[in-house]
Copies of this chain bind each other. A is one copy, B any other.
Amino acid sequence: MVTRGRAHGTRPAAAAAGRAADGAEEEAAETAAGGAAAGPLDSVLRPVRAGNGFEEALEQILQLLRLGLVPPGERLPSERELSQQLRISRVTLREALKVLQDQGMVESRRGRYGGTFVLPRTASPDGTGELRRRIAAVDVEDTLRFREVLEAGAAGLCAEGLTGDEEARLRGALDATRGARLEDYRRRDTLLHLTLAELSGSRTLAAQYAAVRATLNELLDCIPLLVRNLEHSQQQHAAVVEAVLDRDADAAREMMREHCGGTAALLRGFLA
């Protein structure tokens, strides 16, 4: 995730320069269709491994923290469990955890009922080298657009029908956002949206939303949170959930798009 999109510069030109060994006719149609112009293979040929291996693990654990799935004070799964779930060795996992420890984000306690515990966010105006560099690498427009697509899609899918249990879960997540103090709001909000994504019936959608939302939260941490935005947000949440429960897919999508649009405008304004 860190150093993507680098050192690709020379390849598309080389590919385009290749002599058309076979299918010259095809080649022409290709170019007309615009497929081959900017390297059509680029959508697929991303690096197989995004980093040093433990970097990827670090990324995923950071997602857990940024999504608030493991709130401050709580314990991460044990090293043995985590390493199994991430399919990496415990040694490699510990390398990632070491980074988080050094940054003061988690704390390890030994002994039974010990574990790796999440520490409260610190202002951390000191180093932040890691953090600031990450922010700079994020394609904000990509994030905002992709998020809107996933959210609206999830809302629409949910509106096509939930079981009683699922409806209750959604209502619960909405209610949880109501009484939230300001410092907790981001977390509950994230959980509500994540719930919607999970109830969409597409595991892939849920996983992708989790990823994009983690990035979004990171961006949101850069801008001030206003109570006014929060109240507006609340109303929109209620409207979305209501539309979903009413099986009104169009309304659900529309409301969700509006909701995302608000955040997007806020972020574009602050980061542009």
Contacts and interface: CB of A to CB of B under 8 A. Distances in A.
Interface of A: 4, 7-8, 11, 14-15, 18-19, 21-23, 26, 29-30, 32-35, 37, 40-41, 43-49, 53, 56-57, 60, 63-64, 67, 69-75, 77, 81-82, 84-88, 113, 117, 139, 141-143, 145-146, 148-150, 152-154, 156-157, 168-170, 172-173, 175-176, 179, 184, 188, 191-192, 194-195, 197-198, 200-212, 214
Contacts of A23: 71, 73-74
The A interface is mostly helix, strand or loop, or mixed, namely: helix
A48 B43 contact: no
Contact of A45 (B4, B19, B30, B60): B60
A77 to B, nearest CB: 6
Contacts of A49: 49, 53, 56, 87-88
Contacts of A195: 33-35
B45 A142 contact: no
Nearest to A29: B176
Per CB-CB distance, the 5 closest pairs between chain A and chain B, nearest first, are A149-B153, A22-B73, A34-B169, A33-B176, A47-B87
Contact of A173 (B33, B204, B208): B33
A148 B160 CA distance: 13
Contacts of A35: 69, 173, 176, 191, 194-195
A208 B208 contact: yes
15 contacts: A11-B77, A15-B77, A21-B73, A21-B75, A22-B72, A29-B176, A33-B195, A41-B70, A43-B206, A48-B88, A139-B203, A141-B202, A146-B204, A204-B212, A208-B208
